[in-house]
Amino acid sequence: MDFKLQGKLAVVSGSTSGIGRSIAQSLLAEGAKVVVNGRSEGSVSKALKTLDGDTHGVVADVATAEGCDKLIEEAQKLGSIDILINNAGIFEPKPFEEISDEDWLRFYEINVMSGIRLSRAVAPQMKKQSWGRIIFISSESGINIPVEMVHYGMTKTAQLAISRGLAKTLKDTGVTVNSVLPGPTWSEGVEEFVERLAEGKSLEKTKAEFFKEARPSSLIQRFASTDEVASLVTYLCSEQAAATTGASMRCDGGIVDTCF
Ligand code: NAD
């Protein structure tokens, strides 16, 4: 199927590794130009070497307003932005009583404000060209709030509200806005997360036990690959997905126990 993404300009926040990097590669394979973003010169140039296609790197910390401005300004030098993937995000296990004000605010700045700031910056141009795709990489944790990281769950629920509200704001403009809710996905970030959960036990053992003990409702009982998430995101960016907007699309291995 031709997704008709040839020559489209896409910005993927936090795309030097994990899900973001796979989304970048998947969009490149469809002929899109992709702006790859990370926080350091080293991580961006390393990622660019592994990606195949029309890539452009921008070093910017999207946890700050300045970083978001820089990412959009640099990307706009290449043309008007057609696709924005709000992917950058952090997660870490911490008991509720130990989550400080600083932790709550840090999670909010990176996981929530980055998507708000970047979307606000691209929406006017997308409206003007009557075409655009904005996707928030939320999580099944926005529905199943994880007891080991309530602050993370809060940010992922907030993304669902923003995505739905923005889709309504952009009603009848040709711009679609959707959220994708991955379940546990084997990325670099999740490898570190599982190492922290392991607390001295072997990584392989913890990985094997993770679904039985911490995520028993998963119907696939394994981590998804970052490419499996990227496939859904790429479809939502396509011309064929024009009738899907304001939606929360699960790619969670059936972990959320509902049929809608
Ligand atoms: P990851 O840690 O492997 O990759 C995240 C990327 O974002 C890294 O390249 C990192 O450098 C970048 N990043 C982080 N903060 C940034 C900042 N302030 N500015 C610029 N770049 C920044 O993580 P991942 O597992 O690929 O997660 C990506 C997204 O998917 C996150 O929003 C996460 O919440 C979501 N998600 C992940 C899973 C999972 O199991 N992996 C599940 C559901 C949702």
User: 153 CB under 6 A from ligand 1?
Assistant: no
Q: Is 90 exceeded by the pLDDT of residue 154?
A: yes
Q: Is 90 exceeded by the pLDDT of residue 27?
A: yes
User: 142 CB under 6 A from ligand 1?
Assistant: no
Q: Is 90 exceeded by the pLDDT of residue 208?
A: no
Assigned token pair, 65: 């307003």
pTM for the full predicted model:
0.97
Q: What is the dihedral of CA 24, 28, 234, 143, to 10 degrees?
A: 0
The 10 Å Cβ neighbour count of residue 196 is: 12
Phi, psi of 38 (to 5 degrees): -155, 180
CA 156 to ligand 1 centroid distance, Å:
12
Residue among 90, 141, 248 whose CB has most ligand 1 atoms within 8 A, to mutate: 90
Name the percent of the chain lying above pLDDT 70. Answer: 100
Q: Is 90 exceeded by the pLDDT of residue 258?
A: yes
Mean pLDDT calculated for residue range 69-81: 98
User: 115 CB under 6 A from ligand 1?
Assistant: no
Closest CA to 154 of 192, 110, 186, 118: 110
Residue nearest to atom 24 of ligand 1 (CA): 18
User: 20 CB under 6 A from ligand 1?
Assistant: yes
More confident residue, 259 or 11: 11
CA 169 to ligand 1 centroid distance, Å:
27
Q: Are 182 and 156 in contact (CB under 8 A)?
A: no
Q: Is 90 exceeded by the pLDDT of residue 201?
A: no
* Superfamily classification of domain 9-185+225-251: NAD(P)-binding Rossmann-like Domain (3.40.50.720)
Assigned token pair, 54: 């029309």
Q: Which atom of ligand 1 is nearest to the CA of 156?
A: 34
Q: Is 90 exceeded by the pLDDT of residue 230?
A: yes
CA 106 to ligand 1 centroid distance, Å:
14
In the chain, where are the structural domains located?
9-185+225-251
Catalytic residue IDs: 152
Please tell me the distance from the alpha carbon of residue 132 to that of residue 237, in angstroms, as a whole number.
Answer: 8
